[in-house]
Structure 1
Amino acid sequence: MTRILLTAFEPYDRWKENSSWLALIDLTSWYDGDLELVTRRYPVDLAVMRERLQADLSQGFDTVIHLGQSPGASVVQLESTGLNTRSDGTALQVDGPVAYRSNCDLHTCHQRLGDAGIPSKISHHAGTFLCNATLYLSQHFSAMTGGRSQCLFVHLPLSPAQVAADGSALPSMSIPMQSAAIALIAQALQ
């Protein structure tokens, strides 16, 4: 049985909820497929996330799918590259390579989502904040322990309820569509 670690983040800044966690909770309420899904909610704190991530990756998952919300995104974004940089320009890992490219088949994931009517795109990198750090460090920790795990970061749009509560006109996507996207991605990577 394929073991998949699915992670999401807690709320941060002005967001009282995080669409990544909402989608992950929704997925676990209905998924009954043949994958073993293990879920984690990480804090929006680099040092604590790094420690928990390293401990989680030591459990030898086949695939690691990280989820994060991306206010302003209108589609599911499959992140292709984690950069060895923090938002202040310093390195995440002093002795690490400049970047890691996701070792997942993003094109197949993108195609499966499109076939299911879920809009998505392959993004060139996950920014320079915590989402990027999560993807980069996952690849780095995996490489340091033999490189067994496939690692992917997926940015999700806000939920309609988040946009309404914010009083903004930002793009959104329903939580059921987001959780269906996660299931399709996980199935594509097994």
Structure 2
Amino acid sequence: MKILVTGFDPFGDDLINPAIEAVKQLPDEISGAEIIKLEIPTKFNVSAQAVHDAIEQHQPDYVLNIGQAGGRFALTPERIAINLDDGRIEDNAGYQPFNHTIHEDGQTAYFTQLPVKAMAQAIREAGLPAEVSNTAGTYVCNHIMYQVQYMRDKEFPQIKAGFMHIPFLPEQVTSRPETPSLSLADDVRGISAALSAIVARDGQADVMTVEGKTH
């Protein structure tokens, strides 16, 4: 089994992005699965092509994109991606879309094929905070999650794909009072636990645990 794991480069005012830093430190093999690591740019119009090229080259069974979610306290596997780009800030190419449809012939939204409840459960069992998220936002994180689902819909039906957000690193919150953070070592441990859950649930439905939200 092959799992392609991607992480974004730094964006905005931050000089570091926990996503790519954690991805770079992942083991090359987890639970018998080969882990293929890829850095992708925080750019709406470039990131998808980088992932597309890697899928063509490596032919992975799974794709897990990792992104930073400043302000969240937990590692959060994403349940759904929506067909909308609406940038709060410019991306690293200076592009800031407003109410932009990603693909006119794409679905309004795509649900992940990853066992997000099992992933969250495995992360918590590793001693780290985790919960299933029902919104990946409208920035480049949602964009890449949607784009990979679109690729699966139109070109690569054999893959299963999804996204997970991780919190700021401690060094990113020194000037952000009362903002949660997680160490890089814990990020790596949490992502590894999530990947182990993906392998363990291969060919099976997700676990039946409560991960819903009231609002």
TM-score using structure 1 length: 0.92
Q: Distance in 2 between matches of 1:168 and 1:10?
A: 24
The structure 1 segments of at least 4 consecutive aligned residues displaced by more than 4 Å after TM superposition are 30-33
Q: Which amino acid aligns with 2:6?
A: T
Q: Which amino acid aligns with 2:196?
A: Q
**Which consecutive unaligned segments of at least 5 residues does structure 1 have?**
none
1:97 equivalent to 2:107? Answer yes
Deviation of 1:31 (Å): 5.9
38, 41, 52: which is aligned to 1:40? 38
Aligned residue for 1:139, secondary structure, equals helix
Number of the residue aligned with 1:120: 130
Q: Distance in 2 between matches of 1:53 and 1:94?
A: 20
**Residues 32 and 131 (structure 1), Cα distance of their counterparts in 2 relative to 1, 3 Å cut:** closer
Q: After alignment, is 52-61 or 172-181 more displaced?
A: 52-61
Q: Distance in 2 between matches of 1:8 and 1:99?
A: 22
Give 1 or 2: higher helix fraction.
Answer: 1
**Which consecutive unaligned segments of at least 5 residues does structure 2 have?**
87-97, 200-215
1:8 equivalent to 2:17? Answer no
Number of the residue aligned with 1:158: 168
Q: Distance in 2 between matches of 1:157 and 1:74?
A: 6
Q: Which amino acid aligns with 1:16?
A: L
Please tell me the root mean square deviation across aligned C-alpha atoms, in Å: 1.6
Number of the residue aligned with 1:178: 187
- Aligned pairs, number: 187
Identity value in percent: 25
8 A contact 1:57–1:138 mirrored in 2: no
**Residues 21 and 97 (structure 1), Cα distance of their counterparts in 2 relative to 1, 3 Å cut:** same
Deviation of 1:46 (Å): 1.2
1:121-171 Cα distance to aligned partner (Å, 9 max, x none): 11112011100011111111012124211111110001112222x354311
8 A contact 1:57–1:142 mirrored in 2: no
8 A contact 1:84–1:98 mirrored in 2: yes
Number of the residue aligned with 1:145: 155
